[in-house]
Amino acid sequence: MTVGSTGTPTTRVIGALALLITGWVVVSAFFITPADSVQGDSVRIMYAHVPTAWIAYLAFVTTAIASGFSVARRHRTLGFDRVAGASAEVGVLFMAMTLITGSLWGRLTWGTFWQWDPRLTTTLFLFVTYVGYLAVRRIDTDPRQRASRSSVIALLAVLEIPLVHFSVVLWRSLHQEASVLNTDGDVRLDGLMLFTLFSGVVAFTLIFAWLVIHRQRLTTLSDLERVVGLDAAITARRAENSAGVTA
């Protein structure tokens, strides 16, 4: 008998906690936190937008660190490369959500869905870079070649993150400066707003961890299946075996 999933007790605990905290964030974002004095109710998008952006950063940094380990060990084991790939996949999804929710929020506050300003443009560039990274990962079917090529891209692409984060400081941008991780260290959010925002970051970090663990295990399964050619072999043996028993 085989274990029919990539779940373990640890991932189940992470998943349950993620669901619980996400539930709290949604309730708080919609019903408990106050409307903002200038932006009104549209500030409720912030509790989804900001955590997705931070988790996308975290995902791409994780990809770079895992790629660094993968290179340092000369791709002897593919575990780090699989973590790098899984993390980038989740990061691209979160970055897409950042762009979409930011666009909706921008329409309500700025009065426009999109502008080619430094923050928005560098964020789009970061997103496109990692879409390219994921595409490159799928070009080679040999896992070691995949690890070699993609590690180089991951280690270069991560350098874009400081540029994105500090674009609002380096250049004049339509996008507001950071309210929490800013250069002067001040926090410019009311208490409950801040608590809900951090709850969102915790919830999305747990979701990120859950997704990365499962997706890197999925890549492991995929690699194993491809390399060993187990699929056809096991099916054939099973068919033979069942034919032998009934004969």
Partner 1 sequence: MDLTPREVSEAPRPRRRILPAVVAVLAAVGGLAVVAVFLTSSIDYYCNVDEVGVRDGCADDQRLRVQGNVDEGSLQSRAGQTSFVMSFNGVSLPVDYEGEPGGVFQECIPVVAHGRVVDGILVATRIEVKHSNEYKAENADRLDQAEKSACS
Partner 2 sequence: MKDLGFILASWLITLGSIGMLAVVTTRQARRLSTRVPDDVKPWV
| Site residues for partner 2 per CB under 8 A | 1-8, 22, 26, 29-30, 40-42, 44-45, 48-49, 52, 79, 90, 93, 96-97, 100-101, 104-105, 107-108, 207, 210-211, 214-215, 217-218, 220-222, 224-225, 228, 230-231, 234
Q: Which residues contact 127 (CB under 8 A, 6 or more apart)?
A: 92, 95, 96, 99
* DSSP H or E stretch at residue 104: helix 79-109
**203: Cα separation from own chain's centroid:** 13
Helix (H, G, I), strand (E, B) or coil at 173: coil
Q: Which residue's structure tokens are 């691209």?
A: 92
Nearest CA to 51 out of 242, 188, 159, 203 is that of: 203
Q: Would you say 98 and 56 are in contact if contact means Cβ atoms under 8 Å apart?
A: yes
Interacting residue with partner 1 among 10, 77, 112, 222 (CB under 8 A) = 112
Interacting residue with partner 1 among 13, 128, 221, 230 (CB under 8 A) = 128
CB of 172 to partner 2, least distance (A): 26
Closer to partner 2 by Cβ: residue 52 or 67: 52
Residue type at position 193? M
Under the binding rule (CB under 8 A), the answer on residue 51 touching partner 1 is no
Partner whose footprint covers residue 190, from partner 1, partner 2, none (CB < 5 to 8 Å by kind): partner 1
- Could you tell me the two tokens for 6? 């990539």
- Could you tell me the two tokens for 145? 């070649």
Under the binding rule (CB under 8 A), the answer on residue 36 touching partner 1 is yes
Q: Candidates 35-43, 83-91, 93-101, 209-217 — which segment interacts with partner 1 by CB under 8 A?
A: 35-43
Closer to partner 2 by Cβ: residue 101 or 122: 101
